[in-house]
Amino acid sequence: GAGVSQSPSNKVTEKGKDVELRCDPISGHTALYWYRQSLGQGLEFLIYFQGNSAPDKSGLPSDRFSAERTGGSVSTLTIQRTQQEDSAVYLCASSLNRGGNEQFFGPGTRLTVL
Amino acid sequence: GENVEQHPSTLSVQEGDSAVIKCTYSDSASNYFPWYKQELGKGPQLIIDIRSNVGEKKDQRIAVTLNKTAKHFSLHITETQPEDSAVYFCAALPLLGYIPTFGRGTSLIVHP
């Protein structure tokens, strides 16, 4: 079976542009997470979805960041007016349901803001 | 909230040696402790996990130990091989929680 997929794998953009990052979780997984990983750093939690709703958006660093999930499946992370400090690898993970279950990570999207 | 400290940040060993990575956590309500391995250019992958009702778990060359009293848990890799070279992350999650708190990672380098 397919794992978690993310697209694009790499994205280079200019400061001030908007970007959309996509995550396709494993079919049937109700929980979906977005993380940010800066070079040589750990995993910074951004947002958690249970189904289509996001009960926890506490990790979003600013109002330039937003995410949605439709049909309990695909999720899109949008960054508006990108800044150089947004450059990082954005990882998506899904799990069968919330908490205490293995998270399956995608390969990530490497975002570079020039 | 939960705070997870992970040490060392870098670990260099010779092939065949053992490697130990340690994590401490602050929230006594945490009861699920996964370990992830992240190879270059890939997402993290679960390699072993432990719940607070057990003190040790083994899977071939890897093992995890948990000391609830001291609030620390460790990853042990025996007979290391070059393909074990990667970044390893520990994490902690409380019983009713849904967002794991990750350590900052350990870069393990196994020299042939």
- Mean pLDDT for B80-99 is 91
Q: Is-contact B111 B13, C-beta < 8 A?
A: yes
- Dist CA B50 CA A89 (whole Å): 28
Residues from A contacting B (CB-CB < 8 Å) are 4, 31, 33, 41-43, 45, 48, 50, 56, 91, 93, 98-100, 102-108
Token readout for A99 is 């908490």
- Mean pLDDT for B3-15 is 96
Three-state DSSP at A85 gives: helix
Nearest to A42 among B43, B51, B104 (CB): B104
Nearest to B45 among A43, A48, A105 (CB): A105
Q: What is the CA angle B53-B54-B60, rounded to 5?
A: 145
User: What confidence score (pLDDT) does residue A46 get?
Assistant: 95
Q: Percent of chain A having pLDDT more than 70?
A: 96
User: What confidence score (pLDDT) does residue A5 get?
Assistant: 96
User: What confidence score (pLDDT) does residue A99 get?
Assistant: 64
B98 with A48: Cβ contact below 8 A: yes
- SS3 percent helix, strand, coil of chain A, rounded to 5, is 5, 50, 50
- Mean pLDDT for A85-103 is 88
- Mean pLDDT for A13-21 is 98
User: What confidence score (pLDDT) does residue B99 get?
Assistant: 86
B34 with A103: Cβ contact below 8 A: yes
- Dist CA B71 CA B73 (whole Å): 7
A91 with B46: Cβ contact below 8 A: no
Three-state DSSP at A63 gives: coil
Q: Percent of chain B having pLDDT more than 90?
A: 84
Q: Which amino acid is at B74?
A: S
Q: Which residues of A touch B97 (CB under 8 A)?
A: 99
Token readout for B13 is 């060993």
A56 with B98: Cβ contact below 8 A: yes
Nearest to A108 among B31, B43, B93 (CB): B43
User: What confidence score (pLDDT) does residue B98 get?
Assistant: 82
Q: Is-contact B36 A37, C-beta < 8 A?
A: no
CB pairs under 8 A between A and B: 52
Three-state DSSP at B111 gives: strand
Q: Which residues of B touch A103 (CB under 8 A)?
A: 34, 44, 46, 100
Least confident of A73-87, A94-108, B19-33, B50-64: A94-108
- DSSP 8-state class, residue B100: P
Confidence of residue A100 (pLDDT cuts 50, 70, 90): low
pLDDT at A1 exceeding the cut of 60: no
Closest CA to A111 of A76, A93, A84, A92: A84
pLDDT at A42 exceeding the cut of 90: no
